[in-house]
A and B are shown apart, each in its own frame.
Chain A
């Protein structure tokens, strides 16, 4: 029984770690991304994505299903249009991994 529990814990660990990253990613997203990308016409990021995709993709980032971790990380570190780059003292690599996990989670 003890061994079975340990085995279960071992197998489940990556899933828990992933859940943890998603939870952490959501917090980082709330702090750093939502002031521009939350729902609402007055949000510059949301308004810009609405303009560029014209409804073919959701304007709210959290609703997107086509994002990849590489896209998320590339855009945060390089910026796009009026969105500036974000430094590692603002969003660390670990936090960025978590944001990427959050935005690419299964919905």
Chain B
């Protein structure tokens, strides 16, 4: 395994001994066999020397041990890459950005410190997964929902810090947090918001506290190690209902999205959904595919009509009291009825709490606040992994059409990567904007991965030329994406770097995370 950059074997052995004294020998991993477990299981650099590989991993069990690890790392100038549950698959997994980093594995810090079903919040440590919190709530019989991303083994803290999304009204996970505890590089422990008040009674109930609200700079960054975070939970709703809207013509997307945006921004529809292009989505259909490449828009519209499908499809999720939901759906139908040929269909309806037997019948329970791993079937049974290209685009029909056109053209010009699916839905994971999440496959094939990395980088540039940027990315492309956020000669990155230099002068915390490098490793073209 590689050594930390700039460290010789003797000094590294000394550092490992000090880590062992701080944490116990059992929780310092330095054998090849153990360190291998921290490599990215979906690495786009399989069998290439560019794959970032850690030098070791350490697993503290509390804040004091995190402080001791950082003190040693500062003394030896060892880069430390923090993971929570280490399941950031598709975005780098548990592997660092920089080879030779020591992984700071917080999985053992897995305490659920508080769950309130009266004011609906939780306080957890980084090692707590969505599965863990869900099981805890079920065991205690609490009537609160968590909001899960698709992979349920992720960390609430890790996912929120990466600004992941789920499905319910609390689907923007960073937005749903309330209060943090941070260990800074110098070992100082900071609590944000009301947590800065000794004996605070409202740490998880009021976000801002007093003075600057600093939480944002600790997301997608390398300015501190987050050791606790509060989250708002959803009171268990009385009911869930989803319904489907289809419209027959390509140009209907403008009105469809405009009405949806109005409903979503009015909180009449308050959950994640996707605008689906039926010409590109669904089971393989050679006739439809041929029409899509060589046929006219009219021919595609006619073909989909024959198949009793709309050109565009949109599911609307509703959470809340059954009577309110019904009224919301009626209102939504009234609005969409201005589109000629629109069709409506009831899809799914549940009352809560669900019995175990009813829950078992639901193929994907994630929109109901129940963690799952069903999403991992996405690449099919031969899949060896994936990464995600995920640009944010405006919530307009024009942007949907433009994004389809631009990205499909880019795929064609670059030679469509095998398995990539340009027909993926346009999602409403976040308020006010859409995100498209394109699947790019990973394989144990050097040439294919090289090609797909080139495709990925090209897509980042293509998006940036249109004014679209990724909301999150794999460690392999963090520099590329940050470089695209270049307004005023990279003023935002320069601000990040100023903060980095102040908070972490030795540059020990996650060098390269989201394109932010410490001063001694900074290199800009």
Which residues of A line the B interface, CB within 8 A? 31, 35-36, 40-44, 47-48, 51-52, 77, 79, 81-82, 84-90
In the complex, 26 of the A-B residue pairs with CB atoms within 8 angstroms, ordered by the A residue number, are: A31-B131, A35-B153, A35-B372, A36-B373, A43-B374, A48-B377, A48-B381, A51-B381, A52-B381, A79-B41, A81-B383, A82-B379, A82-B383, A82-B384, A82-B385, A84-B41, A84-B87, A84-B93, A85-B37, A87-B37, A87-B107, A89-B59, A89-B107, A89-B127, A90-B86, A90-B107
Q: Are A85 and B41 in contact (CB under 8 A)?
A: yes
Q: Are B131 and A87 in contact (CB under 8 A)?
A: no
Known: A82-B385, A90-B107. A35 touches B29 (CB 8 A): no
Tally of contacts, chain A with chain B, CB under 8 A: 73
Q: Are B381 and A84 in contact (CB under 8 A)?
A: no
Q: Are B376 and A88 in contact (CB under 8 A)?
A: no
In the complex the two chains form, what is the Cα distance from A5 to B375 in whole Å? 54
Q: Which single member of B39, B360, B382, B386 contacts A85 (CB below 8 Å)? A: B39
Minimum C-beta distance from A86 to chain B (A)? 7
Count class of interface residues, chain B:
35 or more
Which residues of B line the A interface, CB within 8 A? 27, 29, 33-34, 36-39, 41-42, 57, 59, 85-87, 89, 93-94, 105, 107-108, 127, 131, 152-153, 360, 363-364, 371-377, 379, 381-386
Q: Are A77 and B382 in contact (CB under 8 A)?
A: no
Q: Are B376 and A36 in contact (CB under 8 A)?
A: yes
In the complex the two chains form, what is the Cα distance from A44 to B385 in whole Å? 13
Q: Which residues of A contact B375 (CB under 8 A)?
A: 44
In the complex the two chains form, what is the Cα distance from A94 to B59 in whole Å? 17
Q: Which residues of B contact A88 (CB under 8 A)?
A: 29, 34, 37
Q: Are B381 and A35 in contact (CB under 8 A)?
A: no
Residue of A nearest to B36 (CB): A85
In the complex the two chains form, what is the Cα distance from A41 to B374 in whole Å? 10
Known: A82-B376, A82-B385, A87-B86. A35 touches B37 (CB 8 A): no
Additional pairs, 16, CB under 8 Å, beyond known A44-B377, A77-B33: A35-B153, A35-B373, A42-B364, A43-B373, A48-B381, A81-B381, A82-B383, A84-B41, A85-B39, A87-B57, A87-B107, A88-B29, A89-B86, A89-B105, A89-B108, A89-B127
In the complex the two chains form, what is the Cα distance from A32 to B42 in whole Å? 19
Q: Are B376 and A44 in contact (CB under 8 A)?
A: yes
Residue of A nearest to B33 (CB): A77
Grouping DSSP codes into helix (H, G, I), strand (E, B) and loop, the A interface class, with mixed when no group exceeds half, is: loop
In the complex the two chains form, what is the Cα distance from A51 to B382 in whole Å? 9
In the complex the two chains form, what is the Cα distance from A82 to B89 in whole Å? 10
Residue of B nearest to A76 (CB): B37
Minimum C-beta distance from B42 to chain A (A)? 7
Q: Which residues of B contact A82 (CB under 8 A)?
A: 42, 376, 379, 383-386
Q: Which residues of A contact B39 (CB under 8 A)?
A: 85
Minimum C-beta distance from B378 to chain A (A)? 8
Q: Which residues of A contact B29 (CB under 8 A)?
A: 88
Minimum C-beta distance from A57 to chain B (A)? 14
In the complex the two chains form, what is the Cα distance from A40 to B360 in whole Å? 9
Q: Which single member of B363, B373, B384 contacts A81 (CB below 8 Å)? A: B384
Most buried by A among B59, B85, B153, B364: B153
In the complex the two chains form, what is the Cα distance from A34 to B107 in whole Å? 20
Known: A35-B153, A42-B363, A51-B381. A84 touches B374 (CB 8 A): no
* 7 closest Cβ pairs, A-B complex: A84-B41, A51-B381, A89-B107, A48-B381, A44-B377, A44-B376, A42-B363
In the complex the two chains form, what is the Cα distance from A35 to B135 in whole Å? 13
Q: Are A42 and B93 in contact (CB under 8 A)?
A: no
Q: Which residues of A contact B372 (CB under 8 A)?
A: 35
In the complex the two chains form, what is the Cα distance from A40 to B386 in whole Å? 23
Residue of B nearest to A86 (CB): B37
In the complex the two chains form, what is the Cα distance from A82 to B384 in whole Å? 5
In the complex the two chains form, what is the Cα distance from A31 to B371 in whole Å? 12
Q: Are B377 and A47 in contact (CB under 8 A)?
A: yes
Residue of B nearest to A46 (CB): B377
Q: Which residues of B contact A51 (CB under 8 A)?
A: 381-382
Known: A35-B373, A89-B108. A81 touches B382 (CB 8 A): yes
Q: Are A87 and B382 in contact (CB under 8 A)?
A: no
Q: Which residues of A contact B38 (CB under 8 A)?
A: 87
Q: Which residues of A contact B386 (CB under 8 A)?
A: 82
Q: Are A47 and B89 in contact (CB under 8 A)?
A: no
Residue of B nearest to A90 (CB): B107
Minimum C-beta distance from A36 to chain B (A)? 5
In the complex the two chains form, what is the Cα distance from A20 to B248 in whole Å? 61
Q: Which residues of A contact B59 (CB under 8 A)?
A: 89
In the complex the two chains form, what is the Cα distance from A90 to B153 in whole Å? 11
Q: Are A35 and B105 in contact (CB under 8 A)?
A: no
Most buried by A among B377, B382, B384: B377
Q: Which residues of A contact B131 (CB under 8 A)?
A: 31, 35
Minimum C-beta distance from A48 to chain B (A)? 4
Q: Which residues of B contact A84 (CB under 8 A)?
A: 41-42, 87, 89, 93
Q: Which single member of A41, A47, A52, A77 contacts B37 (CB below 8 Å)? A: A77
Most buried by B among A42, A51, A82: A82
